[in-house]
Chains A and B, each alone.
Chain A
Amino acid sequence: DAKTTQPPSMDCAEGRAANLPCNHSTISGNEYVYWYRQIHSQGPQYIIHGLKNNETNEMASLIITEDRKSSTLILPHATLRDTAVYYCIVRGNTPLVFGKGTRLSVIA
């Protein structure tokens, strides 16, 4: 599986958009980009995934660059409950491999 690089931490003001970047320059053609988050003392929660096209669901949007070497997770209106560690994972037909993620702190 391709490896990912994420900033260790980010802050975001409540109500503003949170943009979390992820680099995955060695991604293969059949590998998806997945995003999970983990709120303190809970199990990881699936957010969104994509292959080539941008994706949006009720939680977030995923923007994947045309060369697929990087992506951005967007939380359009961050709330205090979005404070968590966010994991960007690139995978094919294998179990998830978690890196260290980005610790997002949403500040009132």
Chain B
Amino acid sequence: DVKVTQSSRYLVKRTGEKVFLECVQDMDHENMFWYRQDPGLGLRLIYFSYDVKMKEKGDIPEGYSVSREKKERFSLILESASTNQTSMYLCASSWTGGADTQYFGPGTRLTVL
């Protein structure tokens, strides 16, 4: 079975802190994705990566950056956390460019105070 893990289920940070959200997949998938989910807005794509050291902006990249130094790991970085970044963050991975099935991690619920 595909396994996508995220470093924390719950995280509380203060405004202005630098926050790292880690995602690891164990199926040698080329593609990895970061989404955020908010009530009434659904899931929105922040960034994705088709290969190591490659990244593409999604629909809402502002305030975020990403890092993919190894194939199995995709990190989402909040350079200076703000209260409007309080959300559920979901990581996903898949085999090919985008048409293949995406598998999701359990999510990290981030609260920024």
A residues bordering B, Cβ < 8 Å? 32, 34, 41-46, 49, 91-101
Contact = CB atoms under 8 A, between A and B. Distances in A.
Nearest to A41: B107
B12 interface: no
A95 B101 CA distance: 10
Given A44-B92, A91-B99, A100-B42, 4 more contacts: A42-B107, A96-B45, A96-B92, A98-B35
Q: B interface, how many residues as a size bin?
A: 20 to 34
B61 interface: no
Interface in B24-45: 33, 35, 42-45
Interface of B: 4, 33, 35, 42-45, 48, 58, 90, 92, 97-99, 101-107
B102 A96 contact: yes
A46 B102 contact: yes
Contact of B104 (A34, A44, A93, A94): A44
B106 A42 contact: yes
A91 B90 contact: no
Nearest to A31: B99
B90 to A, nearest CB: 5
Contact of A95 (B4, B48, B90, B103): B48
Contacts of A49: 101
B21 to A, nearest CB: 13
B9 to A, nearest CB: 9
Given A98-B43, A100-B42, A46 B97 contact: no
A44 B89 CA distance: 12
Contacts of B106: 42-43
Contacts of A44: 43, 90, 92, 104
B42 A46 contact: no
B101 A46 contact: yes
